């Protein structure tokens, strides 16, 4: 009994110290971020001595602090979240490698089943880069095996944590750090691919329609087998939109038919959830910096693609 108490105490201390270390790193990251912003705002400083005046360009210094601050914040949050059982969070959270979310979740599911904990939900939160691209092999394999997992993809249509490079979720003609002239290929239709796997449930959702998203999460919780929800969440800087326009933009994506809201059950039963396509695609494009300078021919091409995709979706209902 004493040994058990001693072990619990050590775990509590370790968890507390882990959380404290993560918090310190997080605070240091915020300070470095602020220092970087300050240096970029006042990019040149002057130091006067008795005989000379020296000027220093702080632009490079500012960018270094900015990047170090962002990295420290991310690492600090990761330290606070894990590793289990020494996490600072009240629920078990595991952070696998970027490409292995679905594979790691499959292992957790099998372990829980072996322990008789079949009612415990295994939920994955991943970005579009780790879902559409780097982690797609593991995702497809888990879907093929029909693993009992709820997989939620936060789709901001690019690798936004590393400077907004394109992913296969990035739409055609969108400018990113790796496609400065615009992406030449279409966005991958992940829901259609998952439907081809005939998984029990696949759905789209958007941050601007939260009641719809919550309903789909609750519905997915009651289903056994592999379930996937793709949630459209804008990256304000990567998309080039003001801070107060992100949610409105996801509503516009739905209203223009760029990102329709629907569900697919067992790969066959399609249900349309959102509003009808009522606005032109141009209204969605012209408010985003990533589409700045797009000519009329390109806009017409995107409108035609959206119209064709909408028609295919309606034909499946």
Confidence (pLDDT) at 216? 98
Confidence (pLDDT) at 295? 95
The model's pTM: 0.77
Instruction: Work out the average pLDDT over 215-220.
Output: 97
Instruction: Work out the average pLDDT over 21-33.
Output: 70
Residue 117's nearest CA partner among 125, 108, 130, 126 is 108
Q: Cβ distance 123 to 108 under 8 Å?
A: no
Confidence class for position 19, pLDDT limits 50, 70, 90 = low
- Sequence-distant (6+) residues with CB within 8 A of 234 are 156, 207, 241, 246, 249, 250
Measured CA to CA in angstroms, residue 306 lies from 11, 168, 171, 191, 207 at distances of 54, 17, 11, 16, 20
Confidence (pLDDT) at 307? 97
Confidence (pLDDT) at 286? 95
Confidence class for position 77, pLDDT limits 50, 70, 90 = low
What is d(CA 182, CA 185) in angstroms, rounded to the nearest whole number? 9
Sequence spans of domains, the chain: 2-81, 98-316
When mean pLDDT is compared across 66-75, 170-179, 257-266, 292-301, the lowest value belongs to 66-75
Indicate if the pLDDT at residue 9 is higher than 70: no
Residue 224's nearest CA partner among 194, 191, 266 is 266
Report the percentage of the chain scoring pLDDT > 90: 64
Confidence class for position 1, pLDDT limits 50, 70, 90 = very low
Q: Which CATH class is domain 98-316?
A: alpha beta
Q: What integer best gives the mean pLDDT of the chain?
A: 86
pLDDT in tens, 186-205: 999 999 999 999 999 999 99
DSSP-assigned beta bridge partners for residue 264: 202, 270
Q: Scanning the structure block, which residue is given the tokens 């697919």?
A: 264
pLDDT in tens, 257-266: 999 999 999 9
Indicate if the pLDDT at residue 214 is higher than 80: yes
The two three-digit tokens of residue 25, written as one number: 């790193």
The two three-digit tokens of residue 309, written as one number: 């995709």
Q: Can you tell me whether residue 47 is helix, strand or coil?
A: strand
Confidence (pLDDT) at 28? 73
Confidence class for position 78, pLDDT limits 50, 70, 90 = low
pLDDT in tens, 45-61: 566 666 666 666 666 66
Confidence (pLDDT) at 244? 87
Confidence (pLDDT) at 4? 42
Confidence class for position 95, pLDDT limits 50, 70, 90 = confident
The DSSP string of 184-234 is -SPPP-HHHHHHHTT-SEEEEEETT-HHHHHHHHHHHHTS-S-EEEEEE--
């Amino acid at each position: 009994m004493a040994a058990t108490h001693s072990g619990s105490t050590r775990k509590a201390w370790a968890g507390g110290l882990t959380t404290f270390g993560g918090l310190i790193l997080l605070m240091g990251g915020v300070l470095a971020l602020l220092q970087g912003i300050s240096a970029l705002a006042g990019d040149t400083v002057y130091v006067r001595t008795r005989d000379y005046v020296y000027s220093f360009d702080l632009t490079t210094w500012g960018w270094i602090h900015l990047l170090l601050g962002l990295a420290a914040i991310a690492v600090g949050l990761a330290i606070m979240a894990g590793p289990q059982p020494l996490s600072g969070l009240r629920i078990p959270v595991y952070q696998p490698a970027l490409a292995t979310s679905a594979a790691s979740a499959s292992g957790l599911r099998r372990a829980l089943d072996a322990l008789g904990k079949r009612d415990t939900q295994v939920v994955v939160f991943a970005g579009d880069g780790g879902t559409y691209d780097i982690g797609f092999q593991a995702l497809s394999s888990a879907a093929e095996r029909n693993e009992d997992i709820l997989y939620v993809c936060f789709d901001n249509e690019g690798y936004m944590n590393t400077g907004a490079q394109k992913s296969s979720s990035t739409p055609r003609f969108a400018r990113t750090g790796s496609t400065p002239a615009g992406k030449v290929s279409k966005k991958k239709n992940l829901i259609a691919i998952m439907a081809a796997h005939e998984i029990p449930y696949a759905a789209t959702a958007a941050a601007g329609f939260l009641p719809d998203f919550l309903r789909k999460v609750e519905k997915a919780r009651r289903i056994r087998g592999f379930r996937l929800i793709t949630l459209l969440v804008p990256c304000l800087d990567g998309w080039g939109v003001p801070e107060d326009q992100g949610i409105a933009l996801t509503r516009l994506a739905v209203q223009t038919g760029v990102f329709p809201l629907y569900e697919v059950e067992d790969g066959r039963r399609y249900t349309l959830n959102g509003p009808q396509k009522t606005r032109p695609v141009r209204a969605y494009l012209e408010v985003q910096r990533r589409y700045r300078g797009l000519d009329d021919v390109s806009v017409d091409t995107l409108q035609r693609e959206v119209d064709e995709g909408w028609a295919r979706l309606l034909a499946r209902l």
